[in-house]
Chains A and B, each alone.
Chain A
Amino acid sequence: QQQVKQSPQSLIVQKGGISIINCAYENTAFDYFPWYQQFPGKGPALLIAIRPDVSEKKEGRFTISFNKSAKQFSLHIMDSQPGDSATYFCAASKTRNTGNQFYFGTGTSLTVIP
């Protein structure tokens, strides 16, 4: 059973465009929602994260939008660059419990065309 559902599976965007990846969850006990970025041949690495007490977090060209009532969150990449081409995973965890599990979405392969 997938704890975090992610879409789309793949995305092609022109350089300078906006990339949007969406995720949804069911478990209201989740209190931390990170996004991971994975380049070919590498392991995923933390990109940006948000807690449910805020609706938006921005770091440079990357923004997370969070809708607690809808149990959805999304990653927006502004002014997308070819170097952003990678696989992106959303995730959720319960940091206040000792379980400390990270549940990942199925990933989105982003290609930014020059």
Chain B
Amino acid sequence: EVQLVESGGGLVKAGGSLRLSCEASGFTFSTYSMNWVRQAPGKGLEWVSSIGGSSGFIYYADSVKGRFTISRDNAKNSLYLQMNSLRAGDTAVYYCARDTVPAEFDYWGQGTLVTVSS
């Protein structure tokens, strides 16, 4: 059974940093691209970043470019999101999601809440 479990969310002050993790199980992690998608309270979904299976490609939304860094450790079946220079607008539930092709997110984690206080 495919499982994605996020962790690392919490309350942080504006300008601060946080590192999210997503632990994967039930599939060959290294053969899939992985993504972070976020959802601000009461708002819609916003794609944040993607990384290829072997980290061969990395993409970011303009809203986080230069502040967030996506990475993965295939030996640990884990995906990460290093978030720096956090802003109030980054407050959201952050989901990790597996994709088979871009935008085809076939499995999602339960999400982890990041709250940035100003």
Q: Do A and B bind each other?
A: no
